[in-house]
Amino acid sequence: MGTNGNAQATNARLNPPTRLTGAEILWATLAGEGVDTVFGYPGGAILPAYDALRKFPIRHVLVRHEQCAAHMADGYARASGKVGVAIATSGPGATNLVTGIATAMLDSVPIVCITGNVSSKVLGTDAFQEVDITGITLPVTKHNFLVNKTDDFAQAIRHAFQIARCGRPGPVLVDITKDAQQGSAIFDFEAAKPRAYRPHPMLRVEESGLDQAAELIRNAKRPVILAGHGVMESGAMEQVRALAERAQIPVGLTLLGLGGFPASHPLSLGMMGMHGEAWVNHAIQESDLLIACGMRFDDRVTGTLSSYALKAKKIHIEIDPAEVNKNVKVDVALVGDLRQVLEDLLPRVSGRDGSAWLKTIEASKGVVAVRDIKNLPDSGHLYAAHVMHDLWRITGGDAVVVTDVGQHQMWEAQYFHHEKPRTLITSGGLGTMGFALPAAIGVKFACPEKDVWVVAGDGGFQMTAAELATIVQEKLKINIAIINNGYLGMVRQWQEFFYERNYEATPLVSPDFVKLADAHGIPGRTVRTRAEVAEAVNQARSAPGAFLLNFLVEKEESVYPMIPAGSALHEMIRRPGRWGKDPLEESADE
């Protein structure tokens, strides 16, 4: 699997042009686009396509819910950089995809979803299992197609791939009617090639802008690079690093940017934003120049806009012109592919001495470290932070971690230090619970040789736990860590801080996850103390197949620091305890 990627494999059998059924054209086109794995679920309106599948070198992974097919395609795409493919039937099959499509949309992930639809003769008549899925998905796709002529299949699908992967990537849906799958047409892969991709006409990187950016960098005293998902999408890791090193600029990362700059690098500040490290957020607030690289100033990283980085000039390097000046007004906009822009910018940037600013930041790191839970003596309680820290240590960071959404997601981001791109797969923009398990399946197909870990909460895991069966059916080696705190923890935390501890609808009764795994034929074990963590992680890693670890962690622990929604970036809630007044905050007041 995954050998020819989306590099377009020309299938000798289909050259010269041949008459095929629509169903055959579907698979032949996918194969031609380099697809070797699809994630799907059959039903009446897509049955002709399934009937033709056996003639093509494509592996179909049977999911347990179509939402998960989209998440798998998404995980596959995030891990590989290639286009992931999900397939579903009409009506409920199609609507089940929607959450997965929206998840991919918000995080700019290239996936193509194929749905069957009722025959063109009855389109629009509320026929059995008919829904207007192109209408439903219009705002959550980059584009979608309704194809009801066999002749149009190959072109629509090829066009869908082009749209999904070009510019700012995203999901595309192709809805194909049943009769068009059954009809036939001449298949000519080459002739179905879409016209050359047209970059967004408002991309603009002017010489003067580059000069201005270089000038701002030269004169900055307290610059910070903000690196986002675009670093990965554009493949600009080296260029970001070169800029940081040459001009001695520290790098803060968004959640989706983690891995885009090595965590161990002396210039790495770690994650910014709502649950970012205090020193990163303080550095941003104190900064006199922000260089935003492939990030979109999401509200989770800015806090209240009216108080965001008021002392800083801003350079925004971004591929989507609609993101420029959307949330934060910038001084220099370089609207283009990040990697290319940085390559053009780098020759203009010369070495500068950043030591004073770096020293200031370094000093504040030391202060924060004493608050860190992992530096506290072992109280006998198991904390998720310990689990993440140990998981990172034991895997040597050499794993792909796929997280769900909630507290455990933030602890992973804080305590698992990502060195390489595409080693943290997580739903950032939509924050979709239930993402981790199915996305990890997609990841495993994209990189079978990698150590793949699911890190999920007890709540989110139950949203898509049925995919355990898919793991077994596909014989996948995936390690699963459930951070079991008996609560919808992140919501409980909000209730603790902002709703007077009114824990309404957040305590959670769960099945015995080890028994649940066992019912699927997946071994597992429950872990209660920190002393057991290392051994359990190693046991999971060395198990021949999938393995589930059920970590019973401290129930009412919260993620710190936290910026309450609507507060400024420096107004953090800090871990309560015996620290007294935070010296960092005192120094920031000066």
Partner 1 sequence: MLHTFVAYVEDLPGVLTRVASLFRRLNININSLTVGRSERAGLSRLTLVCEASAEAGHRIRASLFKLENIVDVDDIAQAPAVTRELALIKVAATPQNRSQLFDLVEVFRARIVDLTSESLIIEMTGVESKIEGLLEILREDEGRILEICRSGKMTMRRGHHLSSVLRAMGAGETETVEPGGNETQEEGLPSALE
List of residues contacting partner 1 (CB under 8 A): 134-135, 138-139, 142-143, 146, 163, 200-202, 320-322, 324-326
Cβ nearer to ligand TPP, comparing 100 with 252: 100
Q: Smallest distance, Å, CB 368 to ligand TPP?
A: 22
Residue nearest to ligand TPP (CB): 457
In contact, 245 and 342? CB cutoff 8 Å: no
| Under rule CB under 5 A, residue 412 binds Mg ion | no
Select from partner 1, Mg ion, ligand TPP, none the partner in contact with residue 443, using the beta carbon and a kind-dependent cut-off of 5 to 8 Å: none
Select from ligand TPP, partner 1, Mg ion, none the partner in contact with residue 201, using the beta carbon and a kind-dependent cut-off of 5 to 8 Å: partner 1
Q: Smallest distance, Å, CB 500 to Mg ion?
A: 20
Select from ligand TPP, partner 1, Mg ion, none the partner in contact with residue 266, using the beta carbon and a kind-dependent cut-off of 5 to 8 Å: none
Cβ nearer to partner 1, comparing 84 with 167: 167
Q: Smallest distance, Å, CB 436 to Mg ion?
A: 12
CB atoms within 10 A of CB 293: 32
Within 8 A by CB and 6+ apart from 112, the residues are: 73, 83, 84, 85, 86, 157, 160, 161, 164, 171, 172, 173, 174
Distance CA 41, CA 232 (A): 30
178 noted as active-site residue? yes
Cβ nearer to ligand TPP, comparing 404 with 474: 404
450 noted as active-site residue? no
Cβ nearer to ligand TPP, comparing 32 with 428: 428
Cα 124 vs. chain centroid, distance in angstroms? Answer: 36
The H or E element spanning position 115 is strand 111-117
Catalytic residue among 490, 493, 495, 557: 490
Q: Smallest distance, Å, CB 590 to Mg ion?
A: 40
Distance CA 183, CA 304 (A): 56
Catalytic residue among 178, 313, 314, 444: 178
Residues at the contact surface with ligand TPP, assessed by CB under 6 A: 404-408, 431-434, 457-460, 483, 485, 487-491
Q: Smallest distance, Å, CB 492 to ligand TPP?
A: 7
Select from ligand TPP, partner 1, Mg ion, none the partner in contact with residue 230, using the beta carbon and a kind-dependent cut-off of 5 to 8 Å: none
Select from ligand TPP, partner 1, Mg ion, none the partner in contact with residue 163, using the beta carbon and a kind-dependent cut-off of 5 to 8 Å: partner 1
Select from partner 1, Mg ion, ligand TPP, none the partner in contact with residue 433, using the beta carbon and a kind-dependent cut-off of 5 to 8 Å: ligand TPP
Over the Cα atoms of the chain, what is R_g? 25
Catalytic residue among 8, 129, 182, 539: 129
239 noted as active-site residue? no
Q: Smallest distance, Å, CB 500 to partner 1?
A: 33
Among 489, 527, 540, 575, binds Mg ion (CB under 5 A): 489
Query: Of the candidates 58, 59, 82, 85, which has an alpha carbon nearest to the alpha carbon of residue 72?
Result: 85
Q: Smallest distance, Å, CB 479 to partner 1?
A: 39
Distance CA 135, CA 535 (A): 51
Backbone angles phi, psi at 15, to 5 degrees: -125, 120
Q: Smallest distance, Å, CB 266 to partner 1?
A: 37
Cα 325 vs. chain centroid, distance in angstroms? Answer: 24
Residue with the two structure tokens 């997280």: 403
DSSP structural state of residue 204: B
Cβ nearer to ligand TPP, comparing 294 with 489: 489
Distance CA 268, CA 276 (A): 13
Residue with the two structure tokens 């930041």: 361
Catalytic residue among 24, 33, 66, 474: 66
Query: Of the candidates 485, 425, 493, which has an alpha carbon nearest to the alpha carbon of residue 461?
Result: 485
Q: What is the DSSP string of 248-262?
A: T--EEE-GGGTTSS-
| Under rule CB under 5 A, residue 457 binds Mg ion | yes
Select from Mg ion, ligand TPP, partner 1, none the partner in contact with residue 396, using the beta carbon and a kind-dependent cut-off of 5 to 8 Å: none
Cβ nearer to Mg ion, comparing 254 with 409: 409
Catalytic residue among 1, 121, 128, 311: 128
Select from Mg ion, partner 1, ligand TPP, none the partner in contact with residue 505, using the beta carbon and a kind-dependent cut-off of 5 to 8 Å: none
In contact, 73 and 85? CB cutoff 8 Å: yes
Burial zone of 455 (CB within 10 Å; 0-12 exposed, 13-18 middle, 19+ buried): buried
Distance CA 244, CA 268 (A): 9
Select from partner 1, ligand TPP, Mg ion, none the partner in contact with residue 404, using the beta carbon and a kind-dependent cut-off of 5 to 8 Å: ligand TPP
Distance CA 543, CA 523 (A): 9
Cβ nearer to partner 1, comparing 139 with 576: 139
Distances (CA, A) of 301 to 264, 270, 290, 304, 321: 22, 13, 13, 9, 20
| Under rule CB under 5 A, residue 434 binds Mg ion | no
Instruction: Give, to the nearest 10 degrees, the angle between helix 278-286 and helix 355-369.
Output: 150
Distance CA 221, CA 457 (A): 42
Count of residues that interact with Mg ion, criterion CB under 5 A: 6
Q: Smallest distance, Å, CB 485 to ligand TPP?
A: 5
Q: Which tokens sit at 73?
A: 């395609």
Residue nearest to Mg ion (CB): 457
**Can you list the alpha helix ranges (DSSP code H) found in 85-206?**
92-106, 133-137, 153-165, 178-182
Cβ nearer to Mg ion, comparing 196 with 509: 509
Q: Which tokens sit at 182?
A: 């059954």
Backbone angles phi, psi at 182, to 5 degrees: -85, -25
Q: Smallest distance, Å, CB 272 to partner 1?
A: 24
Among 74, 152, 337, 458, binds Mg ion (CB under 5 A): 458
Cβ nearer to ligand TPP, comparing 71 with 168: 71
Question: What residue type is assigned to position 239 of the chain?
Answer: Q
Cβ nearer to partner 1, comparing 318 with 467: 318
66 noted as active-site residue? yes
**Binding site residues, Mg ion, CB under 5 A:** 457-459, 485, 487, 489
Q: Which of the residues are catalytic?
A: 66, 128-129, 178, 490
